[in-house]
Structure 1
């Protein structure tokens, strides 16, 4: 089920980044508007690519970056942080997955790294296009049915867990910038 391939997904995300000047609400509106122009299957595929990206970013080093930036990690904040990471665009996402210390070049101290609303763009577009309220035929439920669950059915976080005292050595540039 990949009629929107990964490149098309990232193209939409990158266009949203360029059109928004970093404003999350503008990114969200841009994506909903662009997705509404696509077929229902393509909206569904966007959700699948998005969820695959969330799952791919589930790594202890990404979590360590969030801990350094925000000072805490919870299940919800970690999910919203990965949404924020995706919402930064393909290059930032890919570089961060290679080396989470890359975020020292991206994030500013005190910047909000929560983009929860990105979770809902495919649902909003699907609802707008069908005129229906969300039900089990919508992208979210379909994705979960296909095993793309970032909550209860998710695989274990990748990589090696860390303790707080290891953070300065694990991500030294990010640590120096945020502390």
Structure 2
């Protein structure tokens, strides 16, 4: 059995081939257009070899790789726009810097994640840091919605139970809401996409986290901190200022120009609007 796959995005163009030949497994991978690398592994029997090979193929497909039919060639990669490149860079480095993304939620630490992120970003040039900061501001604005504000209230604000009714204190500070949105972004692209579409995705069984740690304030300053590692950055805002100068159309995350889609709800209304979400979170927080 042999299967060839490929992966293309704004910054990648790679192949991955798996072959199960009896008890011998051969894996080849690398950048399209190169010979790549090759590894071989022996298994105790052909069934184990085939099972492991099929498992690896499924894992690659889950990560976005695409199967090629027999004799089919990898299509020519289309040129990506600067925005697409920036988006891919942002999410790749957010997820790469989260060294506990496959660990239990109790092992995750927001500050550790941000420190790892700053270290990785410090190896990038200034324009890459500007791209990162630009995308950060864009995504924070995309999360500036009533639904996300209501999620913040459910996760962070005090509540009381009167008979069977859950009543939330719906006070929400501007700064706290920004830090909450930073925390959401640190969870990665898949989480961001799902939670943006429906906040009930928080309790769909795919995600776990510490409900007592839902602030990611350090993400606001990480690009400038990374820049400061190798450059003088006296006012600590070289990268943020550059985004304002190069991309004036991008609304800053704490600008007065921000407008929500509607007024967020609070009090007892949230239980009616999101019954399962409120039930699950209140159970964990109680």
Task: Give me the TM-score of the superposition, normalised by structure 1.
Answer: 0.88
* 1:79 correspondence with 2:165: no
In the alignment, which of 134, 142, 162 is matched to residue 48 of structure 1? Answer: 134
C-alpha distance 125-109 of structure 1, shift in aligned 2 (>3 A): closer
Q: Report which stretch shifted further, 157-166 or 37-46.
A: 157-166
C-alpha distance 108-27 of structure 1, shift in aligned 2 (>3 A): closer
Question: May I ask how many residue pairs the two structures share in their alignment?
Answer: 178
Residue matched to 1:14: 95
C-alpha distance 175-109 of structure 1, shift in aligned 2 (>3 A): farther
Per-residue Cα deviation, 1:101-123 (whole angstroms, up to 9, x for no partner):
11234355742101101111101
In the alignment, which of 199, 211, 226 is matched to residue 125 of structure 1? Answer: 226
Q: CA RMSD in A?
A: 2.2
In the alignment, which of 233, 239, 243 is matched to residue 143 of structure 1? Answer: 243
Residue matched to 1:169: 272
- What displacement does 1:99 show? 0.5
- What displacement does 1:160 show? 5.4
- What displacement does 1:43 show? 0.6
Partners of 2:88 and 2:210 in 1: CA distance: 31
Partners of 1:154 and 1:143 in 2: CA distance: 17
- What displacement does 1:35 show? 0.8
Residue matched to 2:73: none
Per-residue Cα deviation, 1:39-89 (whole angstroms, up to 9, x for no partner):
111011100011111011111111101101111421111100000000111
* 1:24 correspondence with 2:119: no
Q: Which runs of 5+ in 2 are unaligned?
A: 1-81, 102-106, 158-170
Task: Give me the TM-score of the superposition, normalised by structure 2.
Answer: 0.57
Relative to its length, the structure with more helix (as a share) is: 1
**Superposition map of 1:32-71 within 5 A:** 32-71=118-157
Q: Report which stretch shifted further, 117-126 or 11-20.
A: 11-20
Partners of 2:96 and 2:236 in 1: CA distance: 29
C-alpha distance 154-22 of structure 1, shift in aligned 2 (>3 A): farther
Partners of 1:122 and 1:173 in 2: CA distance: 37
* Contact in 1 for aligned 2:224/2:236 (Cα 8 Å): no
* Contact in 1 for aligned 2:225/2:236 (Cα 8 Å): no
Residue matched to 2:86: 5
Partners of 2:208 and 2:99 in 1: CA distance: 17
Partners of 1:177 and 1:126 in 2: CA distance: 41
Residue matched to 1:90: 189
User: Which structure exhibits the higher relative contact order, with contacts defined as CA atoms closer than 8 Å and separated by 6 or more residues?
Assistant: 1
Q: Which runs of 5+ in 1 are unaligned?
A: none
- What displacement does 1:19 show? 4.6
